Amino acid sequence: MIKYPKQFFNIEDTLYCGQVFRFKPFKNGYVVISKNKVCYLYYDNEFVVLESTDDDYFYNYFDLATDYEKVYKKILSYNVDFISKSAENGKGIRILKQDIFEVVFSFIISQNNNIPRIKRAIEGLSEKLGEKINAFSTEFYSFPTCEKLALQSEEFFANLGLGYRAKYFVNTSNFLLNNDFLEKGKTEQTNGLREYLQTLSGVGPKVADCIMLFGYGRLNSFPVDTWIEKIYKENFNGKLTDRNKISQFFVELFGEYSGYIQQYVFYYKRGK
DNA sequence: ACCCAGGAATCCA
DNA sequence: TGGATTCATGGG
């Protein structure tokens, strides 16, 4: 069990800010599933309590070694009104260190899709192809392995509601089978890694940025989706239309704080 | 019926 | 290199 002050660890903000899909309400809080591990989060007075099948894993997963008060203060120092308001609103968010493989396939599903549908598709995949996990006297399912995914047909994925993304699953699961492509990415610089990841079927600039931010922990990446494009136009009076250039604009401005800021403004703009 | 959702692939000039 | 079109699917 881990206890952590709740001021810079808000369970709902961290889970609902759009970075992760495998969680759901459970008893007095929420469960989160990552790889073959499960954790249960709830509040106890001024603390978040974390019970899990592997506390060391989730200590890293929730980035508990990072001082988010420092991050928060640094972001306020940019003195940009919209960003300060976003940070104030979402200061309980922690950028999760998720499993790279799961992030790749989760965000392939996410393209041109909405969050409830994304969650449903991932749960369906896990229930049909994942391993059963028993935790907290309840059954959960792990995310499917590459081997399991690579065995399925395009029709199988289409029947789970993946739509035209089904062929990306076939292509990428077969491509990643029996090699260390994702592991090798760890040695790449961020710009190189961005291009590298886009060689995967179904992975373009935005999904690559999400994989880098949520999987590889590259905080100097700034995913640009429809919401961020809206923010850029409405709140920054931006004139660029190329999303690559919009992303570059923010990264040049915010450097290693890009990832935090991206999540804060995305969560703030999207509302609840 | 239309528009949108954490966009990418493809075609076309 | 840049711009428009196409791609499933469910919700508002």
* C12 C1' to A177 CA distance, Å: 40
User: What would the two tokens of residue A25 be?
Assistant: 């309400």
Whole-number Å distance between alpha carbons of A86 and A237: 17
* B13 C1' to A202 CA distance, Å: 25
Is residue A166 predicted with pLDDT exceeding 60?
yes
Residue A54 to residues A1, A10, A38, A135, A232, Cα–Cα distance (Å): 9, 20, 8, 11, 40
pLDDT in tens, A29-87: 999 999 999 999 999 999 999 999 999 999 999 999 999 999 999 999 999 999 999 99
Q: How far apart are the first and last CA of chain A?
A: 30
* C4 C1' to A173 CA distance, Å: 30
Confidence of residue A272 (pLDDT cuts 50, 70, 90): low
Q: Which of A37, A91, A97, A206 is catalytic?
A: A206
Please give the pLDDT value at position A271.
87
| Closest nucleotide over all strands to A163 (CA to C1') | C8
CA trace torsion A184, A190, A196, A197 (10° rounding): 90
Catalytic status, residue A167: no
Q: Which residues contact A173 (CB under 8 A, 6 or more apart)?
A: A105, A146, A149, A150, A152
For nucleic chain C, which protein residues have CB less than 7 Å from any of its atoms? A 112-114, 116-117, 158, 161, 163-164, 241-242
Per cent of chain A over pLDDT 90 is: 99
Whole-number Å distance between alpha carbons of A187 and A47: 37
Q: Write down the pTM of the prediction.
A: 0.98
